[in-house]
Amino acid sequence: MKDIDLLLLSGDGVGPEIMESAISLLEKIQSSFKINFNLIEGLIGGASIDAHGLPVTDETLNQASQADSILFGAVGGPKWDSLPPNEKPEKGLLELRSSLGLFANLRPAILFDSSLEASSLKPDIIKDLDMLIVRELTGGIYFGEPRGKKSSSAFNTMIYERHEVERIARVAFDSASLRNKKVCSVDKSNVLEVSEFWREVVIDVSKDYPDIELSHMLVDNAAMQLVKNPKQFDVILSSNLFGDILSDISAMLTGSIGMLPSASLDNRNKGLYEPVHGSAPDIAGQGTVNPIAMILSVGMMFRYSLDQLEISEKIKSAVSNTLNDGYATEDIADKNSKICSTKELTKIIIDHV
């Protein structure tokens, strides 16, 4: 196997801490599986603003286009909150996704048995939870034009082209074909024309997947159902805005947002991999952030972009075994847990790998 070029974008807040966990894991995999990584570090978000005055530079975008895969930490924090929306750290991530054509965001929500008590829901509601949210990532209201803000009003545009809906729908149906063969498409077609259009296109695409069961749900009901009966879902298909919200709800089903990985893929499965939890500036630098979301994101990278399913499964098993042994960071700990720091939990997981 040729050397793999990985771009590491730690970003802000807890980003550098969880990136250290990812690097430690990659070093273990490199020695154990004889895979060579070229680790390239770049700046994004607030770190890039402080260094270059921009949330992402052309140099970083070029590095990303040349890399085989990208590992991303987090962006944002109070230091940059007063900046205009188009200049904030988050703009760097949006530009990165757009420039690379990373249109498909995959966010699995899997509950490990050892984390049952960490969830705010009753164990019988969430035991054996295993679902996937497929979120469209480069269209919709986050990118729609025109947009603007005046002293007396503000406006944004939610727009989707047919090809944008078709390609994300195919990702959802293809994903479901490897799972339990069910897709629930989420929209707001009772009040939004763009959602009515979304539903029509998804139905058209579904004709190519006769073995997949397609259902539709309004987004407000979907939010309620995620809390009421989450195991009814296999694959949820959603637009950019709705997927952003629903995936954070699904994060809490697993006990902590620190448990959820994600993948953002282009049409050739090149991807950017990141934890869902964000920069968490309130705990940055304290050594307490949960590294599991980042470690599982590395696992997703081996599955989707590097075609190394065995390594991906070993990483997932290592996390499960560590949790079963009672080790945890504070966010998922119960009265019987052996509470660890970020580095301690990372080491234990790596030892299991």
**What is the distance between the alpha carbons of residues 103 and 91, in angstroms, rounded to a whole number?**
16
Cβ-based neighbour number of residue 233 at 10 Å: 25
Radius of gyration of the chain (CA): 20
User: DSSP 3-state assignment of 326?
Assistant: coil
187, 234, 244, 331: which one is catalytic?
244
88, 188, 270, 314: which one is catalytic?
188
50, 81, 204, 220: which one is catalytic?
220
248, 266, 343, 347: which one is catalytic?
248
Q: Please, are residues 217 and 225 in contact by the beta-carbon 8 Å criterion?
A: yes
130 annotated active-site: no
220 annotated active-site: yes
Which residues in 43-94 belong to E strands, given as ranges? 69-74
User: DSSP 3-state assignment of 213?
Assistant: strand
Q: Which residues partner with 9 through β-bridges?
A: 42, 72
**What is the distance between the alpha carbons of residues 288 and 313, in angstroms, rounded to a whole number?**
26
12 annotated active-site: no
**Helices and strands counted in the chain (H then E):** 12, 14
**What is the distance between the alpha carbons of residues 172 and 134, in angstroms, rounded to a whole number?**
6
Give the residue among 21, 70, 39 at the shortest CA–CA distance from 306. 70
12, 88, 91, 142: which one is catalytic?
142
Instruction: Tally the residues of the chain.
Output: 353
Q: State the catalytic residues.
A: 142, 188, 220, 244, 248
